[in-house]
Structure 1
Amino acid sequence: MDNQKGNLYLIPCTLGDTPPLEVLPLLVKKAIEEIDHYIVEHEKTARRFIKGIHPRKSQPSLHFSQINKFTDESEIPSMLSPCHEGFDVGVLSDAGCPGVADPGALAVEAAHRQGIRVVPLVGPSSILLALMASGFNGQNFAFNGYLPIDKRERRQELKRLERLSAEIGQSQLFIETPYRNNQMLESLVSTVTPDTQICVACDITLPTEYIRTMPASNWAKTKVDLNKRPTIFIIQK
Structure 2
Amino acid sequence: MNRQKSFANDHLETGKLYIVGTPIGNLNEMSPRAVQTLKEVDLIAAEDTRHTRKLLSYFNFSTPLTSFHEHNQESKKREIVEQLLAGKSVAVVSDAGMPAISDPGEVLVDAALQAGISVIPVSGPNAALNALVASGIAAQPFTFIGFLPRQKKERKKELEKWAKIPTTLIFYEAPHRVKQMLQDSFAILGNRQIAIARELTKKHEEWLRGTIEEVLTYVQQTEALGEYCVVIEGASEDTKEEQTNWWDELTIIQHVEHYITDGMDKKAAIRQVADDREIPKREVYQIYHEH
TM-score over 0.5 (shorter chain): yes
Higher relative contact order (CA 8 A, sep 6+): 1
Corresponding residue for 1:208?
Answer: 204
Tell me the residue number matched to 1:87. 88
Deviation for aligned residue 1:226: 6.2
Pairwise CA distance, 1:91? 0.4
Pick the aligned partner of 1:11 from 20, 34, 37.
Answer: 20
Once the two structures are superposed, the pairs formed by residues 24-173 of structure 1 within 5 Å of their partners are 24-53=30-59, 55=60, 57=61, 59=62, 62-71=63-72, 73-164=74-165, 169-173=166-170
| CA spacing shift, 1:36–1:75, aligned 2, 3 Å | closer
TM-score (norm 1): 0.82
Following the alignment from structure 1 to structure 2, what is the Cα–Cα distance between the partners of residues 99 and 210? Answer: 25
Conserved 8 A contact 1:5-1:116: yes
* Residue of structure 2 in register with 1:180 after alignment: 177
| Deviation by residue 1:162-186 (Cα, 9 ceiling, x = unmatched) | 322xxxx211122222322233334
Amino acid at match of 1:108: V
Is the radius of gyration larger for structure 1 or structure 2? Answer: 2
Contact in 1 for aligned 2:17/2:117 (Cα 8 Å): yes
Q: For the residues of structure 2 that align with 1:74 and 1:151, how far apart are their CA atoms?
A: 31
Q: Report the residue type matching 1:215 in the other structure.
A: T
Percentage identity across paired residues of the two chains: 27
Secondary structure of 1:163 counterpart? coil
Q: Which runs of 5+ in 1 are unaligned?
A: none
The 8 Å contact of residues 174 and 226 in structure 2, kept in 1 or not, is answered as: no
CA distance in 2, matches of 1:32, 1:48: 13
Q: Which runs of 5+ in 2 are unaligned?
A: 1-8, 236-291
For residues 50 and 198 of structure 2, the distance between their equivalents in structure 1, rounded to whole angstroms, comes to 25
Other-structure match for 2:280: none
For normalisation by structure 2, the TM-score amounts to: 0.68
Q: Which amino acid in structure 2 is aligned with residue 199 of structure 1?
A: A
Equivalent position amino acid for 2:38 in 1? I
Are 1:227 and 2:201 matched, yes or no?
no
What do residues 36-74 of structure 1 show as CA deviations (whole Å, max 9, x unaligned)?
A: 301111211121111122x2x2x4xx4333222222525
1:86 shift after superposition: 2.7
Aligned equivalents of 2:216, 2:129: Cα separation in 1: 26
CA distance in 2, matches of 1:138, 1:111: 32
* Contact 1:202-1:231 at 8 Å conserved across structures: yes
Cα pair distance change 1:216/1:72, threshold 3 Å: closer
Number of the residue aligned with 2:29: 23
> Aligned partners of 1:133, 1:145: CA distance in 2, in Å?
18
How far has the Cα of 1:150 moved from its partner?
3.1
